[in-house]
Amino acid sequence: METEEEFDAIFGSEPDLAYHEQTIHDIQKYRRLLENELFFDRLLKAVGIDQASKLYPPRSNNDLRILFDQITSSTSPDHQKQSLVYYILRDLPPKKKSAEAFAESSYLPEKYQTFIDGIWFLDRLKLERALDYLTSPSLIPTFPDDILYTLCRHAPQNDSSLPLSYYHSVSPPLASMKVLSAFFERSCKASLTEAFYFARQSGQPKHRQLFEQLITFVHANSAGDVRASRALELIHLPLDEDEEQWFEEFLNEGKGSTLYGAKDTLMMRKIAKGQVRDAVYLGSKLSGRKIDGMNWTTLQEGLQKGATTQ
């Protein structure tokens, strides 16, 4: 790709050609929502362009020319520079310069166009549209952990299908605890049991960290019937010896001991395991409490009767 003289050939020579004010406002809004870094910012950095937020969005025709010059003067391969120009063209006013026409005239490989389309939609938090492109088998995963984290943070809270679909399609490395934790919470929302087995596969020390996160999720992110259902699923998980110890330590004396209903969960786990005498002892600390419609004094009396017959 040539340098400055190519600008007019691609964008036209109209001196007032620039982004609409609303477009600029929207881009800045989405950058804030994306923790002050668009995926386009990452692409600019990848070709050696720093201070992306000062260059994009361009606020005038001159700013647009400066951004174009920064891209074309980089030492990156032409297809990378063309991809960035294609992204920029997508934001121009309708009936101006067509991104698709540029992609065709510059022979931009289809897979790069597919990737940029996905990134463009992702930067505008149009997540379903973004995944239509970013899960294409023609693509080599780029920024997979960052994309997964964005899906975990911004997908509807009651629907984890988008992050789970991307994870199973692309297999991101989950290299940081930040990304792993965000994905694991989404996994817990989708299926507590499947999340439990996922944690087992993570190896130490992540296994214990995720296991404790699962327990916290049940107690801190649920209410009413949902909490009761998740708690019932939790206490019946097939814990191994280590997990059993972690369960007790976390809820009895660890960070989980302050969670709402922590001792209740311990007691119900012991009941589920048939450890009635231990359950009676724990129940003595819960006398008079009524949680989720259950009076623990009444339950304790029943347990004591059962324990005496053993």
* Backbone φ, ψ for residue 239 (5° rounding): -70, 140
Is pLDDT of 97 > 80? no
pLDDT reading at 212 higher than 80: yes
Over 70: is that where the pLDDT of 309 sits? no
- How many beta carbons lie within 10 A of that of residue 156, not counting itself? 9
What is d(CA 310, CA 304) in angstroms, rounded to the nearest whole number? 10
Q: Answer whether 3's CB lies under 8 Å from 73's CB.
A: yes
What is the pLDDT, as a whole number, of residue 93? Answer: 78
Residue 118 in this model has a pLDDT that exceeds 90: yes
pLDDT at 204: 87
Residue 251 has phi, psi (to 5 degrees) of: -85, -20
Mean pLDDT of 202-216: 95
Instruction: Judge whether 145 and 180 are in contact, CB under 8 Å.
Output: no
In the Cβ-directed half-sphere of 139, how many Cα atoms lie within 13 Å?
22
pLDDT at 228 over 60: yes
**Exposed/middle/buried for 223, CB within 10 Å: 0-12, 13-18, 19+?**
exposed
Strand partners, 294: 291
The predicted structure's pLDDT at residue 114: 97
pTM: 0.88
The arithmetic mean of pLDDT across residues 137-151, rounded, is: 97
* pLDDT given for residue 298 in this prediction: 43
The residue ranking higher by pLDDT, 94 or 272, is: 272
Residues 279, 281, 283, CA angle at the centre, nearest 5°?
65
pLDDT for 278 equals: 59
* Summary mean pLDDT of the chain: 88
Give me 227's structure tokens.
């909490």
Find residue 295's DSSP bridge partners.
290
* Structure confidence by residue, pLDDT tens digits, 268-281: 888 888 765 655 55
Q: pLDDT-based confidence at 69, cuts 50/70/90?
A: very high
Would the pLDDT of 308 be above 80?
no
pLDDT value for 224:
74
pLDDT at 113 over 70: yes
Q: What is the DSSP letter of 64?
A: H
pLDDT band at 297 (very low <50, low <70, confident <90, very high): very low
264: confidence class by pLDDT, cuts 50, 70, 90: confident
Residue with tokens 């992110």: 221
Enumerate the H helices of 34-126 as residue ranges.
Answer: 39-46, 52-55, 61-72, 78-90, 99-105, 110-123
Q: CA dihedral in degrees (80, 84, 90, 93; nearest 10)?
A: -140
Q: How far apart are CA 112 and CA 118, in angstroms?
A: 10
Q: Are 97 and 10 in contact (CB under 8 A)?
A: yes
